[in-house]
Amino acid sequence: MKMELSGTAVITGAAAGIGRAVAEILRDAGVDVLAVDRDERALATLSGMRTHICDLRSADERDALVAKASGTRYLVNSAGAILIKPILECTVADLRTIFELNVDATWDLTSRIGATMPTGGAIVNMSSAAARLNANTETAIYSASKAAVLSVTRSFAHAFAPGVRVNAVCPGMIDTGMQVEVLEGLARVRDSTPDGVLSGRLQTLPLGRMATAQECAGVIAFLLSDAAAYLTGQAISADGGLVML
């Protein structure tokens, strides 16, 4: 079955990493893409799509985005932040900072943009394999925020059915700038090196390697497409076998 994609799409976190890869895949499929990010310089390097500068932690800036995005067919909530810090050193302020972007913005855009979508619309929210691991004391706030995204996804899948589908993707180790940040942060906390952390983490993956941003973006494009017309409320792991059912 061919993946059919058409209409307009809003992609947050579109300046880099998975978000950028999704934006480029949809553009190449003929979708009218609105690429959203707070990094003006990186957005300017995108071609063949519209761009919108937005700090998603700002309610006012989200209001402006929602007004511009009304009626779009696809939404990908890819923007996110991570905090690497031992759990016993984390504060409520740390929690709030990460949740503002990873959860609040995802909830708000899903709710308000989703409510204007035409029948056949689709939303994909970015969760993480971290939301499904037994425990993680070094990225506990990030993991909690991504677990919340899964619950948000299921709830809106019910709220918008049957006309609009809502799913999530749970990436594992993806070869992006954020992964570099993760490896450096974990190395700092563990008194190790980024290469040492990477080697240890790859040993936990049956496929034995990181994914490219394009591989993960392909899963997202599938969930948006008509090929996934009978999928809603699902969380698809794109993690090389890190978390298995």
HSE-up (13 A, CA, CB side) for residue 79:
30
Collect contacts of 82-86 with beta carbons under 8 A, ≥24 apart.
Answer: 82/139, 82/142, 82/178, 82/181, 82/182, 82/185, 83/139, 83/141, 83/142, 84/138, 84/139, 84/142, 84/181, 84/182, 84/185, 84/186, 84/188, 84/189, 85/138, 85/141, 85/189, 86/137, 86/138, 86/189
* Listed residue (152, 101, 145) closest to 125, CA to CA: 152
Instruction: Please identify every residue annotated as catalytic.
Output: 142
Asked if 194 contacts 187 with a C-beta cutoff of 8 angstroms, the reply is: yes
